[in-house]
Structure 1
Amino acid sequence: MHPTAPAMSKPWIRLCHSVAIAALVVGLAPAVADAAPRKGQVAKKSVVAKKRVARSFSARRSHPVVLRATAPVPGKPSYGQLAGLHSVQDQLDLKSSVALVVDQDTSEVLFSKNDSAVLPIASITKLMTGLLVSEAKLPMDETITITQDDVDTEKFTGSRLRVGAQLTRGELMHLALMSSENRAAHALGRTYPGGLQAFVSLMNGKAKMLGMNDTHYVEPTGLSSKNQSSAKDLATLVNAAYSDERLRELTTSPEHQVVVGKRTLQYRTTNRLVKSPEWDIGLQKTGFINEAGQCLVMQAKIAGRKLIMVFLDSAGKLGRIGDAERVRKWVESNPAVASPLKASNG
């Protein structure tokens, strides 16, 4: 210590030293700046901040340091919000900025709102993933191991399927389509004959074959905002997926248990309408990332009609569910709707 420096206790020196090292390791420069009280600051708050940083550094010394981004931050604008799609009004006052309701048998459009807008589709992606795996007729009883490659490095979401967990392809399909399990979906793509890149190429090839010209995939889970499509294209995908009995069964399953090692894991559907006695759902899939907002696609029988419904970029956690309910009540009260109800600006 320099002879003219003020005397400092050894505990204080150790604490400052820990704070400085923690800042270098995890990039907490602001915490270092607050290590000593400045003029106008409350000393008590600075001490609390120092203790928190010290505890954090102490914990990190006993574990490997892993720099991780956080999960999506609520409140971040979706692509639809940034594009001003929510300013488009509709007669049903939907919370979704994009919506489409089509009669599956006649292809009649009963309701549309921004149905050509191309937006991120989040886990609606998994419908294409499931469709390709099912159509390939790969053995559903084949055991697949979750690897580090299946861990989400896009949004850093968690999963109860730990690295090293072993499940059958059929179980992974069930969890991916019912509970939107990301590691399960990624493992399905990764273990497809030819590998992940070949699988993504097939996803895009299948989309083109179906006439989904607004659609593009870069991975099999939907975590990437680069997986994009339009409501028109997704209605086409729902219709194609509905023809697959396995996808109808798995997407409408209310819950499922899997045994992983010594653990029994309980999974449930991400769509509460599946359990509702007021709904007759033939196929469904939900999705959410910040860039996409809340998303939902369904095939359901309403007032004697087989309808395909698409809701994208819905505001609020329950917005997509509320929109589906609004459409159901509207159709039930207007069973003879003969012409499309178009959204309008204003």
Structure 2
Amino acid sequence: MTRFSLSRTGNVFAATWTRLGLAALLAAPLAFAAVPAAKATPALVIEVDSGKVLLAEDATKPWYPASVTKLMTAYVTFKAIRDGRITPETLVTVTETAAAQAPSKMGFKVGTQVTVDNALKMMLVKSANDMAVVLAEGVGGSFPAFIAEMNASARELGMDGTHYDNPNGLPSPGQITTARDLAILARALLTEFPERSDMFRIPAIKLGNAVIRNYNKLIDSYPGADGMKTGFICASGFNLVASARRGDKHVLAVVLGTSSGRARTEQAALLLEKGFQHSWKIFGAVAPTLDSLRNEGGPPTDMRAQVCGGKRKNTASEDDDTPSTASSFVAAGMGELGDNVTGASLLQKLPPSMPPVEVWVGPFPSAEALAAAYPPPPAQKKPPTAKNKGKKPGPQTAIIDTTGTTPPDAAPPDAAPPPSPTAKPAAKPAAKPAAKPAAKPAAKPATSASAATAKPLPKPAPAPTYPTVPPPPPQ
């Protein structure tokens, strides 16, 4: 249950709303026509400047944040920059803990250094879990110290329904939040650090020759979208905190627990569009603020069965774009939009808002540093062919060892070469007269030796290639 406590001109107006939002608003003349309420997940729309709540559904319900956690990691890092503890150019180092994080990640090897600025961009665009830990350890001095800062910041902001166990949102039973708390955090990022807001709307980053796209599909698709952050684990479903600006109106939407990446994008587009409709005001002048919402207790909802269950046709991931019931949400009664507008219809292919933003490892772009940042690829084993599958291995051909050490299974240097696996002379010498074999071996050994040494040699693994990054021009 979401409770609003409202006040105006000294009089307290208290109201309790049961499942207020997309489903409950069906009774209002200006509301969404939506899928059944049983399928509803937390949703919230606010005005960024005033903090007024325009729409809320289960906005105070406990939920797993997944990678939306990285908004708090960015917030604590921005505070450290503001306080002078670090600068955007400060180098932070990939540790064993960071390198051991599960994907999505950059995959740099232990000891690699990146600037705070580049680590932030990789974390927010690629949703790199290793970069979140790199920032935590580099900014906080230690992993536990940074987590303590995250939780202290949540308390200072009034996010009393939120607790953090890690800086990246990977599964942890104690990592919880609410849509209300996420809106408070996102609003703090936008109002306290407006000079860094562009970091949330980067459509892609460029590392060497590789271009990595943002998982937030509203960017360059929904008019006015200016970023924030996505998140996904099986237990949370697909989460999105989305911001958009048109003229002097700045709207923020929070969507949690949808069944696919496309569902969260389309639902967020409809919620943002609802926020921009000036003619629609369910609360009027007495709209509640975020502070007036009260978080609920209890365990978070676990979406694992619905999102990652056996009935799913494809593997769920952060980059999922599976069609879903999100397209059935229509903008009924929303001003000039008409009754048949869907979330999908609000999205379009817009001109790129900016080119991919270059990132690098080390203090400045360097092809050598980038090449050294990745561990060597593992040696690949040749799979058995259909011809020799199941057969016992035959005699092994000697392998040339360029180090000067003879392998234990190699033939002595003066031994007769073993038969080539493709040659067929084995049966012929028995049928020939005794006088003829003398001439045959004279011609055969060269061919046989050539086959024995050339054909069976395994091809060396290809040397790793890395994209080149031109060095910066001389200053």
Matches within 5 A, 1:170-209: 170-209=117-156
- The reply on whether 1:145 has 2:93 as its aligned counterpart is yes
- The reply on whether 1:121 has 2:61 as its aligned counterpart is no
Contact in 2 for aligned 1:96/1:311 (Cα 8 Å): no
State the shift of 1:328 in Å.
Answer: 3.5
State the shift of 1:167 in Å.
Answer: 1.8
Tell me how far apart the structure 2 counterparts of residues 176 and 212 of structure 1 sit (CA, whole Å). Answer: 22
Q: Partner of 2:212 in structure 1?
A: 267
Tell me how far apart the structure 1 counterparts of residues 155 and 121 of structure 2 sit (CA, whole Å). Answer: 26
Greater C-alpha radius of gyration: 2
Q: Partner of 1:235 in structure 2?
A: 183
Q: 1:158 to 1:327 in 2, by over 3 A?
A: closer
Contact in 2 for aligned 1:100/1:113 (Cα 8 Å): yes
Which structure shows the higher strand fraction? 1
Letter in 1 for 2:130: R
- The reply on whether 1:222 has 2:169 as its aligned counterpart is yes
Matches within 5 A, 1:57-206: 89-90=23-24, 91=26, 92=32, 93=34, 97-137=41-81, 138-152=86-100, 156-164=102-110, 165-206=112-153
State the shift of 1:228 in Å.
Answer: 1.1
Which structure shows the higher helix fraction? 1
Tell me how far apart the structure 1 counterparts of residues 253 and 64 of structure 2 sit (CA, whole Å). Answer: 17
Contact in 2 for aligned 1:293/1:312 (Cα 8 Å): yes
TM-score using structure 2 length = 0.49
Q: 2:280 aligns with which of 323, 329, 337?
A: 337
State the shift of 1:338 in Å.
Answer: 2.1
Contact in 2 for aligned 1:125/1:220 (Cα 8 Å): yes
Contact in 2 for aligned 1:115/1:230 (Cα 8 Å): yes
Letter in 1 for 2:108: R
Tell me how far apart the structure 2 counterparts of residues 269 and 179 of structure 1 sit (CA, whole Å). Answer: 6
Q: Partner of 1:32 in structure 2?
A: none
Q: Partner of 2:349 in structure 1?
A: none
State the shift of 1:152 in Å.
Answer: 4.6
Contact in 2 for aligned 1:100/1:231 (Cα 8 Å): yes
- Number of residue pairs matched by the alignment: 248
Q: 1:313 to 1:194 in 2, by over 3 A?
A: same
Tell me how far apart the structure 1 counterparts of residues 177 and 212 of structure 2 sit (CA, whole Å). Answer: 28
Higher relative contact order (CA 8 A, sep 6+): 1
Residues 268-307 of structure 1, C-alpha deviations (whole Å, 9 max, x = no match)? 211111112x421344111001111100012212585311
Residues 17-63 of structure 1, C-alpha deviations (whole Å, 9 max, x = no match)? xxxxxxxxxxxxxxxxxxxxxxxxxxxxxxxxxxxxxxxxxxxxxxx
For structure 1, which runs of at least 5 residues remain unmatched after alignment? 1-84
Tell me how far apart the structure 1 counterparts of residues 249 and 279 of structure 2 sit (CA, whole Å). Answer: 10
Contact in 1 for aligned 2:105/2:127 (Cα 8 Å): no
State the shift of 1:158 in Å.
Answer: 5.0
For structure 2, which runs of at least 5 residues remain unmatched after alignment? 1-18, 27-31, 289-475
Q: 1:328 to 1:258 in 2, by over 3 A?
A: same
Tell me how far apart the structure 2 counterparts of residues 339 and 207 of structure 1 sit (CA, whole Å). Answer: 30
Letter in 2 for 1:273: L
Q: 1:132 to 1:160 in 2, by over 3 A?
A: closer
CA RMSD of aligned residues (A): 2.4
TM-score using structure 1 length = 0.66
Q: 1:280 aligns with which of 224, 232, 243?
A: 224
For 2:206, what is the secondary structure of its paired residue?
strand
State the shift of 1:238 in Å.
Answer: 0.6
Tell me how far apart the structure 2 counterparts of residues 330 and 303 of structure 1 sit (CA, whole Å). Answer: 15
Q: Partner of 2:272 in structure 1?
A: 328
Report sequence identity in percent: 26
Tell me how far apart the structure 2 counterparts of residues 254 and 96 of structure 1 sit (CA, whole Å). Answer: 29
Matches within 5 A, 1:237-252: 237-243=185-191, 244-245=193-194, 247-252=196-201
State the shift of 1:161 in Å.
Answer: 2.4
Residues 215-243 of structure 1, C-alpha deviations (whole Å, 9 max, x = no match)? 10011001134321111111100110112
